Amino acid sequence: MELSQRTRDFWRSGLIAASRTALACIIVGCMTLYGPTAFKKQVAFPAFSYVAMILIVTNATLGDTIRGLWFAFYCTLQTVCPAMLCLWYMGPTRLTAVSTSLVLGIAAFFIALPKSTHVVAKRVALGQLVIIYVVGYITADEIDAIMHPVKENSKLFAENASERLRLFVQAFCAKDNESSQAFISQPNTWLESMQWEKFLIKFLRPYCKNPGDRLQELETPLRGMEIALNNKHIPVSILDEQLKGGIDNIEGEISQNLYQLRSHMPCETPTVPESTQGEVMNFLEKLETIPTNDKDLPSYFFIFCMKLFHIQSRAMTIPPNSQKVDKKALQKKQDQQQKKTSEHQNGLSLSGVLGHWPTSTLGKERLVSALNCSLSLGFAVLFGLYYSKPNGFWSGLPVAVSFAAAREATFKVANVKFQGTVIGNVYGVLGCFIFQSIVQIRFIALLPCFIFTSFLQQSKMYGQAGAVSAVIGAILILGRRNFGPPTDFAIARIVETFIGLSCSIMVDLLLNPTRAASLAKVQLCKTFGTLQDSLSSIEFTELSKDELMKSAKNIKENIIQLDKFVTEADAEPNFWFLPFNTACYKRLMSSFTKIGDLLHFTAHAISLLDEQIQRLDVNGVRDELDKINGDLELVGNLTATSMKSFQEVASIKSLLVLEKDLENSGKTFDLELGKSANFPLMNLDEKELGKIISSFLEHLQEAMEKIEFPDEEEKEIKSQIVISFSALGFCLKCLMKETKEVEKAIKELVQWENPTSHINLHELSCKIHALYD
């Protein structure tokens, strides 16, 4: 049933995207074919109208469409005005293939350079540059080529979150392993388009917030619940009718909150439900004793995440003007957030777009990306014009409209672009043959193409790059005008596309000579360093909470960068190099992600504990709290030390070279010393790890027995402390578990890179320290 629903959703989303694109295509076709004569004269290159439409409308939401309209206007100003001045100054008749390519390359550099300009705007702008300059060169004597291109996600996220929550609760209450594994995949959210939906409606509601940022908060507790389910023991020993009923009540209220979000997003005022925070949490008062068995910790952690989910979902349904907060503090926070948003938001004003890059420090990555675009486009047009002057711009257009702001898997992307172009051209030729007697409506042949490519871009083989190339190939042939027989035009386009993509590959290899596999290795070591710093900051203080939240964010950023390099390395040819171990890197990234999430939950648990302890007199339990803090620091040091050793081991280029250097240096190493100093968790089995958690639970019990609770709030405060402490214990246990998983993966990776050697991490680490210390 679940698979059937997913299949229906897949077809539904694909058909909706195809229908949206097809409707836009029909509008463009009718306007360029049947519009007023004065209007048609202004559309000198109607095929690019379809290209711009594809770039803007495909898979677009309302926010995306509004953003696309602004991009079309902005990139027109960015390209047409300077190009008019340049052509006026130089004179089209004085253009040559070299000068055209040179001017185009320089203009492309400044288009690609700004960080604040969105990639879609850059693609449209670069496409316009190719049209303006190359057509200006080709038709220099008759130049007239100055032309112009032409809240559902929030609701889907809330629906998805509600469904996942329902499945998670069923899994928690299940009595067998098979049904407990039922959970739904994470939804695909388009947060960027949400800010443009906000831009449209911000004048309607003064308190309208960016729903993307707030909705993302709901994803965190859901991931935590999933981690708990993957570690829980069946059946749940603490689960009784009272607890099950309480969990069902929380689920019901969270679902009600999510329904409010579905019904009123992004900024309509929802109906604020009566406050039932205390009532719905009453069942938690039965959890007033620290668990004596670490097998119960996943269940407590699941409840902790549900509580966090309830708090966050309820907060999202309450308009800011109904929340009781410190107005001065809130205003200060809003001012800071508004300043930050205005500095990073893409294209809400011309000053915001133009005011960024001239004064900011130009990073190496941006300069390389802009230079890559400039040289690729310049050489593509130059060699394209040398091959065929009338069709020269077709070599530059594929490079322009597929511009990427970051590194890509060069060979894979070029391959799927070329294949997509061939598929699109063949389809276009067939469409022209079928509709040769009724040329005026042959753009109708594009409708099946839109449906096909909307599903093609969701495939792993072609993705967005191949699908967009295919649909653009078909559009340029079926939407062309005055380009000769379709077969000849298709062959010319294929050859020119090959020239353009070849230039793009060669420039990319020259500017980025370092293999993605090498960059992935460097980023892996950097991520280990970030993990070491993050884990070493675990302690029972309020300051630790802020540090851990920051650390979790840094880990996420490192993982995103690592994933980019891994994806590129997986797609690049091996040539004479060792094949890239993608599976091993994926396992490492999975563990890194879990560690980041666990640090996030550790910060929340420490924060909630601090709030409750502030209400109590804990002077008599300082020793016990110090022991608890000692347990936290112990786990932090064990895991951080391991991460440091992993970083050292992963950084070596060759074990044979290391052994030779050690032999030449005459240094020796103590293998026994390294066992405890470098990999403290390696020799600890599941039982010994359990002893660390058992000691932590014993210290918690000692503290709970000595704490004096106020009579009127004893059950409430005690249950909140028990749940938070138990969640903290679960996080500590999982941090050690994931560190051991990283240990296995890093050993496999080093063995893969040194196939002729037997890898012993202890020995390897000792050799590294002996050589470099």
- In a 10 Å sphere around its CB, with 0-12 CB exposed, 13-18 middle and 19+ buried, how is residue 80 labelled? middle
Query: Could you tell me which residues are beta bridge partners of residue 617?
Result: 708
The structure's pTM equals 0.69
Q: Where would I find the beta strands (DSSP E) of 607-661? A: none
Phi (first) and psi of residue 174, to 5 degrees: -70, 155
Residue 402 is classified by DSSP as: T
Mean pLDDT for 618-635 is 86
Residue (of 552, 590, 770, 598) closest to 678 by Cα position: 770
CA-based Rg of the chain, rounded to a whole angstrom?
Answer: 30
Q: How far apart are CA 97 and CA 668, in angstroms?
A: 66
643 pLDDT tier (thresholds 50, 70, 90): very high
Contact 548, 537 (CB under 8 A): yes
**For 452-486, what is each residue's pLDDT tens digit?**
777 777 677 777 778 778 877 787 677 665 556 77
- What DSSP character marks residue 441? G
Please determine, for residue 334, whether its predicted confidence score (pLDDT) is greater than 80: no
Q: What angle do CA 748, 749, 755 make, to 5 degrees?
A: 80
* CA-based nearest residue to 129, from 110, 143, 101, 108: 108
Residue 183: exposure state from Cβ atoms within 10 A (0-12, 13-18, ≥19): buried
| 3-state SS class at 349 | coil
Residue range 92-126, pLDDT digits in tens: 667 788 888 888 888 888 888 887 777 777 878 88
Per-residue pLDDT tens digits for 263-293: 654 444 444 444 455 566 677 777 888 888 8
Any idea which of 59-73, 271-285, 631-645, 682-696 has the lowest mean pLDDT?
A: 271-285
- CA distance to 92, 230, 648, per residue, from 639 (Å): 67, 21, 14
d(CA 49, CA 63): 20
Q: How far is CA 182 from the centre of its chain?
A: 25
Q: Scanning the structure block, which residue is given the tokens 């202004």?
A: 42
Q: Are 523 and 561 in contact (CB under 8 A)?
A: yes
Least trusted range by pLDDT, from 317-326, 521-530, 541-550: 317-326
What is the distance between the alpha carbons of residues 759 and 750, in angstroms, rounded to a whole number? 7
205-222 CB burial, b ≥16 within 10 A, e <16: eeebbbbbebbeebbbbb
CA 40 to chain centre: 42
